Amino acid sequence: MKNKRKSAGILSIVLILSIIITACSGGNSGGNGNAAAPDNASGTSDTNSATGADNEPAVAEEHDPVTIKFISWKDGTYNELYELFHKKYPWITIEQVPVNGQSIMEIIAALEAAGTPADVTEIDADLITFEQNGLVEDLTPYIDSSPIFQEASLPQGFFDTMTFNNKKLAVPMVDVPMWVLVNKDLLAKHGVDMPPNDWTYDDFREIAKKLTDPDAGEYGVTTQPEIQMRLLSTKAIADGHAANLQYMNEDFTQSVMATPDVMNDVKWLQEFVTKDGSMQSDAAATASGNVTREFINGKTGFAIGGDWVLPDLKKNAKFNWDVLPFPRGEVSQPGYSIYGPLSLLAGSKHKEEAFLWLSFQFTMEAQKWKIDQGANASVADPELTAYYDQAPIWQDKNIEAVKIAQKNAVIQPGATVPGWSEYNWNNILNEIIFGERDINDIIPETEAWNKKTTELRATLTQ
């Protein structure tokens, strides 16, 4: 079966090259929410957390040296993790193949054609396209026989967003968490206490109004797409209006964005601009010099951020900042997280060694290293939960909020949803909330996409 899949990958090179533009149109654009997870940009850790028995070489027997080609955007930031892996498996070296703005499918095809196939890749489009072209392995048999995976306690639904037709097509390279960023100096200036970790969406709105002083150029909320992209769809889950992020139903087959409850959620955030004045519209932000588009400028009270913002904030912020979990809604307090898909390529000549790199991501030393960079632990383990308290990146910050965000995280969908790149949930809501688009446009847009994804799913599962 694996040889058959490899042959399919090679024979489909021409097809792949012909569909690169359409297959990757959802890649990193903000237009459809199918952006690849941002790189963990905080570089090497402040301390070497990966010490002790876990970091000893896996076996003492002799092995022929193997080099694993890993297609990645990491741009040098994961060199330390590569070294930790090499220390554990001394006969295996990770060679990063840079993306450099190319389509990953194009890189795979070029390496196959040259006779030097890649082994592992991050994913820049939907996983279904990769699977349909025979490019990625079904990881199920590898995972089922892996001691590392058998010993790891993984969260419920861990593979939901990376499974299609009962095939596990990827594992998370990194679990990218998000929090509400808080400007504590602005809170203090306006006589507002730091909210507790069980704060509510009503608290969020009321505090945002208190922090707003247009004469001083200060606003409660940063004018950023992340507020709509992350906070609004999380609120829909928190209030029981949607089962999953991006307004998806329980089994990711339909959008509920056009339901009355979700449309009322959209109106709720729109009123921050049109009624409260605590968040600027796109036009107003542009007219005032775009200062309120960036939390780091110190002129806004709240923003949404993930691990990628931490290095810049720690280095350059001129004010006292902290983090809070996403607020509590009427039924729950979910958080928001992105998985960066990591797949084993069907054309790999070193599948056993390549899977060791995938499984290594879930060892204790790799998990601690990622916490040091600001990422979530993907494995549920008391030792990892306790490690948040030791991680230098979170010293003097609201560590309990970080733990809550990790515990309550809901994973962004999309990688295995048919037609996801055509689901216009992101652009339309930006245009409604920050612009002047009619909110009722949501209804025909959602109905059309629900019809299309249903039709596509039927063809893919035949």
Give the rounded distance of the alpha carbon of 358 from its chain centre. 17
Kindly report, residue by residue over 115-155, the tens digit of the pLDDT.
Answer: 999 999 999 878 999 999 999 999 999 999 999 999 999 98
What are the DSSP calls for 32-70, one per residue? SS-PPPPP--S-S-SS----SGGGS-S--S----EEEEE
List all residues 6 or more positions away from 180 whose beta carbon is below 8 Å from its beta carbon: 204, 231, 302, 303, 304, 323, 324, 325, 326, 327
Kindly report, residue by residue over 198-255, the tens digit of the pLDDT.
Answer: 999 999 999 999 999 999 999 999 999 999 999 999 999 999 999 999 999 999 999 9
Strand 120-122 to strand 163-164: parallel, antiparallel, or no bridges (unpaired)?
A: unpaired
Residue at token pair 């691990």: 307
Kindly report, residue by residue over 253-297, the tens digit of the pLDDT.
Answer: 999 999 999 999 999 999 999 999 999 999 999 999 999 999 999
Mean pLDDT of 2-21: 40
Kindly report, residue by residue over 154-211, the tens digit of the pLDDT.
Answer: 988 889 899 999 999 999 989 999 999 999 999 999 999 999 999 999 999 999 999 9
Determine contact, residues 211/218, Cβ cutoff 8 Å: yes
Q: Do domains 2-175+339-397 and 177-337+416-460 have the same CATH topology?
A: yes
Domain ranges of the chain: 2-175+339-397, 177-337+416-460
CATH class of 177-337+416-460: alpha beta
What architecture is the 2-175+339-397 domain classified under in CATH? 3-Layer(aba) Sandwich (3.40)
State the Cα–Cα distance between residues 123 and 343, nearest whole angstrom: 7
Mean pLDDT of 424-432: 97
Greatest distance between any 2 Cα atoms in the chain: 71
Residue at token pair 């008391």: 382
State the Cα–Cα distance between residues 407 and 429, nearest whole angstrom: 28
Kindly report, residue by residue over 312-364, the tens digit of the pLDDT.
Answer: 999 999 999 999 999 999 999 999 999 989 999 999 999 999 999 999 999 99
- Please report the sign of the dihedral spanned by the C-alpha atoms of residue 271, residue 276, residue 278, residue 283: positive
* Element spanning 193, H or E: none
What is the pTM (predicted TM-score) of this model?
A: 0.84
**How many alpha carbons lie under 13 Å from residue 51 in its C-beta half-sphere?**
4
State the Cα–Cα distance between residues 193 and 308, nearest whole angstrom: 27
Q: What share of the chain is helix, strand, coil (3-state, %, to 5)?
A: 45, 15, 40
State the Cα–Cα distance between residues 106 and 108, nearest whole angstrom: 5
Closest among 145, 303, 294 to 220, alpha carbons compared: 303
